[in-house]
């Protein structure tokens, strides 16, 4: 979740486009032409930078780039990068949160 009060929550750009409807699957997949155009327009012009030990300036940008990568590589590849117990903890905590209307 994006913390609007985070000191790094300001964007490098003003994103006036609608939110991305992510289609992250277990296996990676290529984007359709429409998806590519939409995502490429959002990432063009971003400066790849490291600030205070984090990639990019804002949490919003980091999550957008993560979503793009997850669509391309898939969830199965992502969960192999870390400790399975941590992934299970995160899913359990997410499952315990009250449903939003």
> Does 25 reside within a domain?
no
> Does 16 reside within a domain?
no
> Does 10 reside within a domain?
no
Give the model's pLDDT for residue 86.
96
Residues in the chain: 101
> Does 39 reside within a domain?
yes
Give the model's pLDDT for residue 66.
94
pTM of the model: 0.73
Domain that includes residue 82, residue range: 33-96
Could you state, in chain order, the average pLDDT of each consecutive group of 10 residues for the chain (101 residues)? 42 63 96 92 80 82 92 96 94 87 68
Give the model's pLDDT for residue 15.
55
What is the chain's alpha carbon radius of gyration, rounded to the nearest angstrom?
Answer: 15
What total of structural domains would you count in the chain?
Answer: 1
> Does 37 reside within a domain?
yes
Give the model's pLDDT for residue 60.
86
Q: Which helix (H) or strand (E) holds 62?
A: helix 59-73
């Amino acid at each position: 979740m994006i913390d609007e009060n985070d000191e790094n929550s300001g964007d490098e750009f003003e994103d006036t486009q609608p939110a991305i409807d992510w289609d992250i699957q277990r296996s990676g997949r290529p984007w359709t032409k429409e998806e590519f155009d939409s995502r490429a327009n959002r990432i063009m012009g971003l400066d790849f930078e490291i600030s205070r030990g984090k990639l990019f300036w804002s949490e919003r940008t980091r999550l957008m780039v993560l979503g793009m990568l997850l669509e391309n590589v898939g969830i199965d590849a992502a969960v192999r990068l870390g400790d399975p117990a941590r992934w299970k903890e995160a899913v359990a905590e997410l499952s315990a949160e009250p449903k939003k209307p």
